[in-house]
Amino acid sequence: MLTGAGVSAESGLGTFRGADGLWNRVNVEDYATPEAFHRRPAEVWRWYAERWRRMQAAAPNAGHQALVRWEGLFPSYLLVTQNIDGLHQRAGSRAVVELHGTLRRARCVSCGASVEMHIALTLPGEPPRCSGGEACGGFLRPDVVWFGEMLPAGAMERAVESAEAGDVFLVAGTSGTVFPAAGLIEVARRAGALVIEVNPEETAMSGLAHLRFAEPAGAALPRLTEEILEWRNRSRG
């Protein structure tokens, strides 16, 4: 399955596009690109630090919680998320691939050393400098994928494999506009999966869905999960 910012909307975290979207308030190019970090490291660092604080203050919602059950329901289930907020994991999901990285960690731009964000934020400097084993002194950056950057090694491969393998592909809370993530929907569809979309609004990918639930994820996902569980119990007799 594939999730996006809409799944975290009911946890109080804003989405990116649409009327109240984050990208309506700031320019993507000023914050979510490697060039932006190069030009204005302090501003970019502070902006992500503020998003990290909001993320920490947020709690997983009924949509995140419902998806935890899917791990036990389908053996090849994989939760592919574009979200960097870690709320799926905080809800209890373990089989998660974070296509766009995570804001729970920072990493050194020079040596790649990884630092938990809550620790990085206690270090001096905006952004702080790397103080790992080698103390290379490089800037720490959020461990997220910016526009124009490659996805984490192996993440897309695992995601494609699961999209090709499953009978059902669930897409929830994403506008389906950022690639290569959005391409997974077509991959699943071509491989013969039943594509289900959960989104109150029509999206760029709605045409690929066999089934659409035009509802918030926090309502549709728990209900869908209950229905699958009931069907399971009935079919086991």
Which positions touch ligand BV8 (CB under 6 A)?
A: 4-6, 9-10, 15-18, 21, 32, 82, 84, 100, 144-150, 172-175, 177-180, 198-201, 203, 216-218
CA distance linking residue 181 with residue 3, whole number of Å? 10
Q: Which of 88, 100, 118, 210 is catalytic?
A: 100
- 2 counts as binding Zn ion under rule CB under 5 A: no
Query: Which residue has 């592919």 as its token pair?
Result: 80
Binds 213, which of Zn ion, ligand BV8, none (CB < 5 to 8 A, cut-off by type)? none
Q: Hey, what are 179's tokens? A: 């690639």
CB 227 within 8 A of CB 196: no
d(CA 142, CA 138): 13
Distance CA 232, CA 183 (A): 30
Q: Which one, of 160, 161, 179, 182, lies nearest residue 171 by Cα?
A: 182
Binding of residue 110 to Zn ion (CB under 5 A):
yes
Residue 142 phi/psi, 5-degree rounding, is -60, 140
Binding region for Zn ion (CB under 5 A) out of 69-77, 126-134, 139-147, 158-166: 126-134
H-helix or E-strand spanning residue 219: helix 217-236
Smallest distance, ligand BV8 to C-beta of residue 8, A: 9
- Smallest gap, in angstroms, from Cβ of residue 177 to ligand BV8? 6
Q: Which is nearer to ligand BV8, 156 or 193 (CB)?
A: 156
As measured in angstroms, the least distance from the Cβ of 92 to ligand BV8 is: 19
Cβ nearer to Zn ion, comparing 122 with 233: 122
Residues 198 and 220 sit within 8 Å (Cβ to Cβ): yes
- Looking at the Cβ atoms of 6 and 138, the one nearer to Zn ion is 138
Pairing of strands 194-198, 211-213: parallel
Strand runs labelled E in 82-139: 96-98, 101-108, 114-116
Position 129 contacts Zn ion (CB under 5 A): no
Instruction: Rank residues 108 and 155 by Cβ distance to ligand BV8 and give the closer one.
Output: 155
Piece of 36-44, 55-63, 88-96, 105-113 that binds Zn ion (CB under 5 A): 105-113
Confirm whether 118 is a catalytic residue.
no
Catalytic residues: 100
Tell me which residues touch Zn ion (CB under 5 A): 108, 110-111, 113, 130, 136, 138
